[in-house]
Structure 1
Amino acid sequence: MNIKSILFGTSLDSNPGTVILRVLIGAALMTHGFPKMFGGLSGFTEFVASLGVPAPQVMAFLAAFAESFGSLLLLIGLMTRPAAFLIACTMAVAAIGAHGADGFAKQELAWLYFVPALFFLLKGAGKWSLDALISRK
């Protein structure tokens, strides 16, 4: 497996449901990530620090980066697998680390982003994506 297939490899599945899911999840997650990245990072950093996470400034930045730029990459289908990996890691930490002691209702949103991210990590973006366009060349 070469670096191009890791970064841009995708299935050539032409199912329109794949595109709809990718665009919807990417757009929806951006509504959580962009406010953190561009205006709420200090407040988010304080929240991350309150969880006892080591290096809270770094971890808060990485989570906000995954939620904002990772979701943008997912939405357009570019470097989908690496973006999905970042999103899945962030959502797993959110579900288990931030909301692990809470009931499922508090964890639910993180799991609802985790599962599609895992799907795109395993499957790729599909035929209608920038990854597919790049991998064909």
Structure 2
Amino acid sequence: MATRSSGLGQGRLIGTAQSVLDWLDQVPAALPALVLRLGVALAFWRSGLTKLPFGNDTVITLFREEYRVPVLPPELAAYLATTIELSCPVLLLLGLLTRPAAAVMLAQTLVIQLFVYPENYPDHLLWAGPLLYLVLRGAGRWSLDAAIRDRMLGAGQ
């Protein structure tokens, strides 16, 4: 008798688990894409805000003495990093030009990883994962990219 009731309990558990999985399968892929866009955008935006105002001597000194990005002069590296960190997050937030913006941010992440803070790979993986997803899959349905694509291809009519 104990085996039969435990079998029924196990069946209910499997049924409940399947119901939860079915419910999760109904969540639109646009939701995690939006969360990934917002999360990585916030990390870069906050970094960009610390570099304002443009041309700030403290920021130039930071690029000259600590970051030491190869090839680029510190002034150019500072302006470029700040511009990326303040413009690309806005594009991600809007879901506009998402793939190019994410690719630029991913390239910046790789430069930071390789040349500036190689020991901070756990943080950089937290940025690179969402950015790689956005480069490969795009912004999702809840984006201006999708609206423009639908309009251009006539899918929205």
TM bracket, shorter-chain basis: 0.7 to 0.9
- 2:99 counterpart (75, 81, 88): 81
Point out where structure 1 has 5 or more consecutive residues left out of the alignment.
1-13
Q: TM-score, normalised by structure 1?
A: 0.76
- 1:48 counterpart (63, 67, 72): 63
1:59 CA drift (Å): 1.8
Give the structure, 1 or 2, with the largest relative contact order (CA under 8 Å, sep 6 or more).
1
1:89 CA drift (Å): 0.8
- Mapped to 1, the partners of 2:48 and 2:128 lie a distance apart of 14
Partner of 2:79 in structure 1? 61
- Determine if contact 1:92/1:111 at 8 Å carries over to the other structure: no
Point out where structure 2 has 5 or more consecutive residues left out of the alignment.
1-27, 152-157
Number of matched pairs: 120
Give the % identical residues.
Answer: 29
- 2:128 counterpart (105, 108, 114): 114
Q: SS state of the match for residue 51, structure 2?
A: helix
- Confirm or deny that 1:132 pairs with 2:150: no
Q: SS state of the match for residue 50, structure 2?
A: helix
- Mapped to 1, the partners of 2:139 and 2:35 lie a distance apart of 11
State the Cα RMSD in Å.
1.9
